């Protein structure tokens, strides 16, 4: 694998926007990249589970990557999700991401639940690309768990220098993975940002999540890494209710698309089926939570709460 600048910081996962007829909303996708630049994100992650990658055709996947890399134009790093039923499909996706100009790939596990099989899978994908490989450890979505021993071994060998860690309880595993890897892995949190402060305290290097107010995460990260731990803690506790509410399983994607429509970034809130939709009660309740946390639902970057 080639040598790359270390990955770190706040890297929002973007939902894939659609038009009312279900077609890709490429202008909306491009607007979302400009918004991420405006709020100070370090990178963006696309085509993950939140990005409904499993509902896209191969041609649509390619179109999403091309549009995002073109719009980012070096202003943000671009991380592409790799998820397939077998290793050959994962290799194909990783190679395509590299050919289209992505900066990293985050790779899901494949069945069966067996460390030897999982290790072969990740090593094969890593060997197929010069891009940094980020392990995606999210048993709630994949039904598979990455063991601490496996993660540590892949990190020590330089196969997977990063992990998006969403195996709960996440915080003890952050500590265990850093120890097992002998400090050779960069841990990124997820889970909607609900544990971001504690993840930083435990040694994570950033976050990769779909929270639709990423300027909060950017400010929290910058405060913490600049030595203002108290300021980071105040901001975290002021906004944690919104992170919790938005991350509701099953309906979180709908809330995030609602936010991006209200922010003037996406034209619609369309999710490809099967997917739940928001009721007017959901929207009103969500607006109350946003207001309670000192934020607003409106166009452009959002001022942080006092």
Per DSSP, the three-state class of 187 is strand
Give the pLDDT score at 2: 60
Residue 261 lies in a domain: no
- Each residue of 195-226: pLDDT tens digit? 999 999 999 999 999 999 999 999 999 999 99
| Residue 159 included in any domain | yes
Domain that holds residue 205: 9-239
Residue with tokens 């985050």: 106
Mean per-residue pLDDT over the chain, rounded: 97
CA 55 to chain centroid: 17
Burial class (CB in 10 A: 0-12, 13-18, 19+), 51: buried
Instruction: Let me know if residue 67 belongs to a domain.
Output: yes
- Asked if the structure places residue 133 within a domain, the reply is yes
In-domain check, residue 110? yes
Residue with tokens 């309880």: 169
How does pLDDT run across 281-305, given as a tens digit for each residue? 999 999 999 999 999 999 989 999 9
Q: Reply yes or no on whether the pLDDT at 231 is more than 90.
A: yes
70 falls within a domain = yes
Q: Enter the DSSP assignment of 193.
A: G
* 3-class DSSP state of 106: strand
Residue-wise pLDDT for 21-57, tens only, equals: 999 999 999 999 999 999 999 999 999 989 999 999 9
CATH code (residue 222)? 3.20.20.70
Asked whether residue 246 is domain-assigned, the answer is no
Identify whether the C-beta of residue 254 lies closer than 8 Å to the C-beta of residue 9.
no
Structure tokens at 158: 């330089």
Domain assignment of residue 127, yes or no: yes
Whole-number pLDDT of residue 18: 98
Q: Both tokens of residue 258?
A: 């609602």
Contact yes or no for 71/38 (Cβ under 8 A): no
> Pseudo-torsion of CA 251, 249, 224, 233, nearest 10°?
90
Q: Which of 237, 236, 166 is nearest to 204 (CA)?
A: 166
């Amino acid at each position: 694998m080639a040598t790359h600048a270390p990955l770190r910081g706040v890297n929002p996962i973007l939902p894939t926007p659609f038009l009312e007829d279900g077609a890709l909303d490429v202008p909306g996708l491009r607007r979302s990249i400009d918004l991420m630049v405006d709020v100070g994100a370090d990178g963006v992650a696309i085509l993950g589970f939140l990005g409904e990658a499993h509902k896209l055709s191969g041609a649509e996947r390619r179109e999403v990557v091309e549009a995002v890399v073109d719009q980012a134009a070096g202003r943000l790093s671009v991380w592409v999700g790799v998820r397939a039923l077998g290793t050959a499909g994962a290799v194909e996706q990783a190679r395509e991401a590299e050919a289209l100009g992505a900066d990293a790939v985050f790779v899901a596990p494949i069945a069966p639940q067996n460390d030897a099989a999982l290790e072969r899978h990740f090593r094969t994908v890593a060997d197929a690309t010069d891009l940094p490989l980020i392990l995606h450890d999210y048993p709630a979505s994949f039904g598979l768990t990455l063991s601490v021993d496996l993660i540590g071994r892949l990190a020590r060998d330089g196969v997977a220098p990063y992990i998006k860690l969403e195996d709960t309880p996440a915080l003890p595993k952050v500590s265990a993975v850093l120890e097992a890897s002998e400090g050779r892995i960069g841990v990124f949190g997820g889970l909607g940002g609900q544990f971001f402060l504690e993840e930083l305290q435990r040694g994570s290097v950033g976050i990769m999540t779909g929270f639709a107010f990423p300027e909060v995460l950017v400010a929290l990260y910058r405060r913490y890494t600049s030595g203002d731990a108290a300021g980071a803690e105040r901001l975290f506790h002021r906004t944690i209710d919104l992170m919790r509410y938005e991350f509701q399983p099953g309906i979180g994607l709908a809330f995030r698309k609602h936010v991006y429509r209200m922010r003037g970034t996406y034209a619609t809130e369309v999710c490809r089926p099967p997917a739940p939709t928001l009721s007017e009660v959901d929207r009103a309740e969500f607006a109350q939570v946003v207001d309670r946390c000192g934020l607003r639902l409106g166009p452009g970057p959002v001022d942080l709460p006092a």
